[in-house]
Structure 1
Amino acid sequence: MFIRGYLRASTDDQNADRARDQLTAFANERGMAIASWYVENASGTTVDRPELRRLLKDTQPGDILLIEAIDRLSRLPGDEWQMLRNEIESKGLRIVALDLPTSHAAMQPTLGDDFTARMLDAINRMMLDMMAAIARKDYEQRRQRQAQGILKAQQEGRYKGRTKDTDKRRRIAELLAAGFSVRKTAEHAQVSTYTVHNVKKHGI
C-alpha cells in the first residue's frame, strides 16, 4: 500500500504544509508511513494543479490519496468533481480524508469479504460526493460575501484591489530566463509553483 500525501492551500500567504504533521500522525497510528508528498498553493476550483496532476501521473492501482479534508482536494463544480473522481477511481486510487471517517477503512490491510468491501466503497463514494458539494457551496458563499464586501468598499471609495509583488515576480522571471525549472524557481523565490506558472503565463 503506497500512501501519497496531498497538501493544498489556496494562496501564497497560506501555509499549504501546515497539515503535514496531522497526516503523518494519522498514518503512523496505523503502522504506516507516507511515501510521497505533493504540496502546492493553488485553487481547489480547478483540476489544473501541477502537484495534483503529478500525483495522478505517479499513482498505481491500490495507492492511497491521503488528505486533511475533502475541500483540500476539491472545491469544483459538480460535473468537474465527477470527472476528477472518475479519473481517480479509474487509476485504482483510494481517497482517505481525515474529516471523513467512512474513508479510513481503506487504510486497513483488508476490508473483509467482497460484499463488505463493496458496501464500504458505495458509502464512501456517497459521502465523498456530499462533502465535495458542501465544499463547493462554501466556496460560492464566500465568493458572494467577498463580492458584496468589495462592492460596498467601492461605493464608499475604500477599495484599492490586490497589488502584485512586482519585485518577487521579477525575480521569478529572472530565474525562469536563466533556465531554472518551475519547481526550482519556486524554491529559490520562496513562492508556490502556482505563482511561477502565473508569471510564466502572464509575465510580471
Structure 2
Amino acid sequence: MATIFYARVSTVDQNIEHQQMQAAAAGFKIDRVVADHGVSGVSTLFADRPNGRRLFDMLRAGDTLLVRWVDRLGRNYSDVRDTIQEFMRRGVLIRTVINGLTFDGATKDPMQQAVRDALIGFLAAAAQANAEAIKEAQRGGIALAKAKQGETKYRGRKPSYTRGEFATVCDMLSQSAGIGSIAKVTGLSRQAIYRIKDDPAGAEAVLISWSDQPATAR
C-alpha cells in the first residue's frame, strides 16, 4: 500500500520543501510526492487542479493520502469536505502531518461516523475561515499601501521576507505553529515573524510598496 504526499503552493516563489520537511520530521515514510504549484485553494477546486485530479486515478483502496493539513486540499468548505468524503468512499486513508489526524471510511459504527464527519466539517470550515482572515489582511495591506503612496514616495526599509515566505508564515500561524518552528522552516528571524504575526496588514503593505503586486487568494 502506497503513501502519497500531496502538497500545494499558491505563489510562484513558494516551494514544497517545507511541507516535505515537516512530514519527514514527523516520521512519515513517503512513497511519492505529488504537488500543484501556483494554485489557489480558494478559487480552484481540488478536482480541477492538474495533480489533484490525477490523485483520483492514482490512489487505490488501502493507500494513504498524506497532507500537511486539510487546507492543502483546499480552502473552500464544501470542496474540502467533499474531497475527503470521496477518498474515504474509495477506501483511501487520509492523514495529516499536523496533529497526526487520520480519516478512515472503514468504520460502520454510526456514532464514530458522526464524530468523524463532524471533525471533517469543522476542519474544512476552519480552512475557509483562515483564508478569509488572510484576505482581509491583504485588503488592509493594499489600503494601507495606497494611503502611504499618497502621503510620500518613501517606501521604508525593504522587507526581509519574500512573498512566498510571507505566505508560508501566514499558513503556519493559522495552524498555531510556534515561532521557532516557523523560523526553522522559512529561515526568517523571529523578529520578522513576530512583525508579520502582530501586523499582517502592515507586513502586506510593505511587500506591496516594494513589489506593487498584491497577494493572490490562497
| Aligned Cα root-mean-square deviation (Å) | 2.8
Please state if 1:65 is matched with 2:65.
yes
Alpha-carbon distance in 1 for matches of 2:101, 2:114: 10
Instruction: For residue 119 of structure 1, report the CA deviation from its aligned partner.
Output: 5.3
Please state if 1:130 is matched with 2:122.
yes
| Number of equivalent positions | 150
1:43 counterpart residue number: 40
The residue type equivalent to 2:21 in the other structure is D
Q: Report the more deviating stretch, 41-50 or 150-159.
A: 150-159
**8 Å Cα contact 1:40/1:51 also seen in 2:** yes
1:12 counterpart residue number: 12
Alpha-carbon distance in 1 for matches of 2:144, 2:30: 46
Instruction: For residue 4 of structure 1, report the CA deviation from its aligned partner.
Output: 1.1
Deviations 1:14-41, CA, capped at 9 Å, x for gaps: 221222133245455xxxx322210222
TM-score (norm 2): 0.58
Instruction: For residue 120 of structure 1, report the CA deviation from its aligned partner.
Output: 4.9
1:93 counterpart residue number: 92
Instruction: For residue 57 of structure 1, report the CA deviation from its aligned partner.
Output: 1.8
- Mark the CA change 1:69 to 1:59 in structure 2 (over 3 Å): closer, same or farther: same
Alpha-carbon distance in 2 for matches of 1:34, 1:121: 27
Alpha-carbon distance in 2 for matches of 1:39, 1:102: 21
The residue type equivalent to 1:44 in the other structure is G
Alpha-carbon distance in 1 for matches of 2:99, 2:148: 43
Please state if 1:162 is matched with 2:213.
yes
Alpha-carbon distance in 2 for matches of 1:124, 1:132: 12
The residue type equivalent to 1:43 in the other structure is S
Instruction: For residue 114 of structure 1, report the CA deviation from its aligned partner.
Output: 6.0
1:175 counterpart residue number: none
Deviations 1:126-175, CA, capped at 9 Å, x for gaps: 22221121111011011012112212322333757329xxxxxxxxxxxx
What are structure 1's unaligned runs of at least 5 residues? 164-204
Instruction: For residue 71 of structure 1, report the CA deviation from its aligned partner.
Output: 1.5
Instruction: For residue 61 of structure 1, report the CA deviation from its aligned partner.
Output: 1.6
User: Which structure carries more relative contact order (alpha carbon 8 Å, separation 6+)?
Assistant: 2
Percent of counterpart pairs with the same letter? 27
- Mark the CA change 1:2 to 1:70 in structure 2 (over 3 Å): closer, same or farther: same
Alpha-carbon distance in 1 for matches of 2:124, 2:101: 14
Instruction: For residue 86 of structure 1, report the CA deviation from its aligned partner.
Output: 3.4
SS at match of 2:21: helix
Q: Which consecutive segments of 4 or more residues in structure 1 shift more than 6 A?
A: none
Larger radius of gyration: 1
